[in-house]
Structure 1
Amino acid sequence: MTPIITPGDIAALLDALAREVDRIGSGCPCELWIARACAATLRHADGLDDEARAAFLAAAAARGYFEPDVSPGFLLEPTAETCAHGLAYDCCPCGCGDL
């Protein structure tokens, strides 16, 4: 039997998520922050049953940490030569070279 998740459990998961998103997304361009926040949200939802997962994802979306339409991995990890959009920094139309 799967344990029942309470509103307090969801609040605790959201607090942990907020700390992680602050750590991994601070100072990022908007697109990268969204991608990292969505990926972190999905990691925190792993292992929850369907009902608890739906409740957690809805609560995370209400706080702005999750967008159901954002597919995980739509951005790349930046390298020394390319930004998260997969372009050379000085060629990115999003201004990644200006950071």
Structure 2
Amino acid sequence: MAYQNFESVDIDNVYSPVKDGAYNPLMLEGVARQINRLANKNIKACGCSYEVYIANFSLSVDRIVSQAKDRDLRATILYVARECDYHSPEEVDEMRQSCLDAGLCVHGIDPDCCPAGCGDLP
């Protein structure tokens, strides 16, 4: 049960940093496995755009963090997610603005080549 999908388990109990009054050594390993699975899932769905990967992966991590009640667990999730290029919502906004400033769409692609149709938008 410790390595199931985040969405299907009570992450505060499974990945509690303290279990029975002692540090839970499986927490970091379990969180790392789940974050890496989440990163791989988002890599496969990004259409080879780093910007799309970052935005989608980071949003997925933010959803997980918002469900965790334990402060140490939230910090651990974010720490591990940084290793997979997690960006805060502010950093994602900055990345998107940087793309727009460079003449790209928010997906980091030439708007006329973007499969999302960004070049067709007014």
TM-score, normalised by the number of residues in structure 1:
0.60
Percent identity between the aligned chains? Answer: 15
What is the match of residue 35 of structure 1? 55
Q: Write the distance in 2 (CA, Å) between the matches of 1:33 and 1:12.
A: 18
RMSD: 2.7
Mapped contact 2:65–2:74 kept (Cα < 8 A): yes
- 1:5-16 equivalences in 2 (<5 Å): 5=17, 6-16=27-37
Q: How many residues align?
A: 80
What is the match of residue 58 of structure 1? 79
Task: Name the one with the larger helix percent.
Answer: 2
Q: Helix, strand or coil for the counterpart of 2:33? A: helix
TM superposition shift of 1:52: 0.5
TM superposition shift of 1:39: 0.7
Question: After TM superposition, what 4+ stretches of structure 1 lie above 6 angstroms from structure 2?
Answer: none
Which digits, 9 at most, give the CA deviation of each residue in 1:9-57, with x for residues without a partner? Answer: 21221122123212321323x3333211211221233422221111111
Mapped contact 2:61–2:81 kept (Cα < 8 A): yes
Unmatched runs of 5 consecutive residues or more in structure 2: 1-11, 18-26, 105-109, 115-122
TM-score, normalised by the number of residues in structure 2:
0.51
AA of the residue aligned to 1:19: N
Q: Helix, strand or coil for the counterpart of 1:70? A: helix
Unmatched runs of 5 consecutive residues or more in structure 1: 76-84, 86-91
What is the match of residue 21 of structure 1? 42
| Structure with max Cα Rg | 2
